[in-house]
Amino acid sequence: MAGMPSPSQLLAPKRIYFEPAVLGFERGREILARFADAERVEVQSHTRIPQLYGDSASAEDWLRLKRDVLVLGVKKGLQMRPNGRSADFIAPSSSNGCAMACSYCYVPRRKGYANPISVFVNVGQVIAAIRKHAAATGPKAAPNQVDPRAWVYDLGENGDLSVDALVSDNVRDLVAAFRDLPHAKGSFATKFVNRDLLRYDPQGRTRVRFSLMPAEMAKLVDVRTSPMDERIRAINDFVEAGYEVHANFSPVVVHEGWQAEWRRLFAEIDDALTPAAKAQLKCEVIMLTHNEGLHDLNMSWHPKAETFLWRPDIQEEKRSENGMANVRYRHGWKRQWLDQLLGWMGETMPYCGVRYAF
């Protein structure tokens, strides 16, 4: 991608699917008013829209639908789920899906032939559930790899909150909520530099994890995202604005020449970061996991990326915790490649602690 995608390039809804209950929430009415020119289509459930998710022809319009369609719903399940990797707990999502189109994203694997943003308008209920859980959990008794002092809640498991902030004030409300939760911290990963978030005053209680990979690969698989140099430069600004900022090196895509690309990336990060950003930097590293169903879907709209993501010659089947058949790099090779990557990073960025890597 030549430059930073503008908000209108990412999202310009011409049609909004919405559940009837959305009209009962102020946030729902605000969003509908914000996109007043969009066609409105009432649906019984944000998860069951046959003309969107059930039509195989939609896959060919994968990118257009992300720009032109918005789905509004009410989040039903408000439970916290234990995690232990990116966060201590996975909070109820305030959205599902994304206006960006990373070809390895796991969210579309269950949705069908389209994956636009679904925004949940009952963010007040989500925040109330987080507050209740944080109060019941109390102080963190001992440090862990997630955080030494605070219980960390992942706020964006199924979407990208930097893009969601283009739709509504849900993200602003979530950041504000964590300012006065003494034992809790919010967290989300992002591939989009939304500088409006610099005005949210997080006061150190929200962690942003910028997803980073070599620019050469990102141009192919991180479709409609912010360029890599923009993400790297933004780390300094977000630290200065009061965010804790970590790096999410994900996914690591192994291909011919990948070693030199990652070495260059680590050098670029080291050159760009301020001392303040380096002093607080930690990271997570995730090797690529892919999926046969997603591979088949991607072949409808972005087959070029699949020549790098779908590599049966170096991959093996991995059964996920939910029973889904995924593929990952073969075990022995994966461990060797991961150790190499961590070694290069340690040489160039010794100040960057690794919270977890797999």
Length of the chain: 358
Domain ranges of the chain: 7-357
- Does domain 7-357 fall under CATH 3.40.1280.10? My reply is no
The pLDDT profile of the chain, 358 residues, written as one tens digit per residue, is 345 677 888 999 999 999 999 999 999 999 999 999 999 999 999 999 999 999 888 888 999 999 999 999 999 999 999 999 999 999 999 999 999 999 999 888 778 899 999 999 999 999 999 999 999 999 999 999 999 999 999 999 999 999 999 999 999 999 999 999 999 999 999 999 999 999 999 999 999 999 999 999 999 999 999 999 999 999 999 999 999 999 999 999 999 999 999 999 999 999 999 999 999 999 999 999 999 989 999 999 999 999 999 999 999 998 776 667 899 999 999 999 999 999 999 999 999 999 999 9
Structure tokens at 135: 């109060």
Q: With both helix axes pointing from N to C terminus, report the angle between 258-272 and 228-240 in degrees, rounded to the nearest 10.
A: 30
Contact predicate 229/191, CB 8 Å: no
pTM of the full structure? 0.95
| Residue 319: predicted pLDDT | 78
| Residue 107: predicted pLDDT | 86
Structure tokens at 358: 């797999």
Backbone angles phi, psi at 84, to 5 degrees: 95, 0
| Residue 1: predicted pLDDT | 37
| Residue 321: predicted pLDDT | 67
Q: Where are the strands (E) in 49-154, listed by range?
A: 69-73, 81-82, 89-90, 95-96, 101-102, 117-120, 151-154
Contact predicate 140/163, CB 8 Å: no
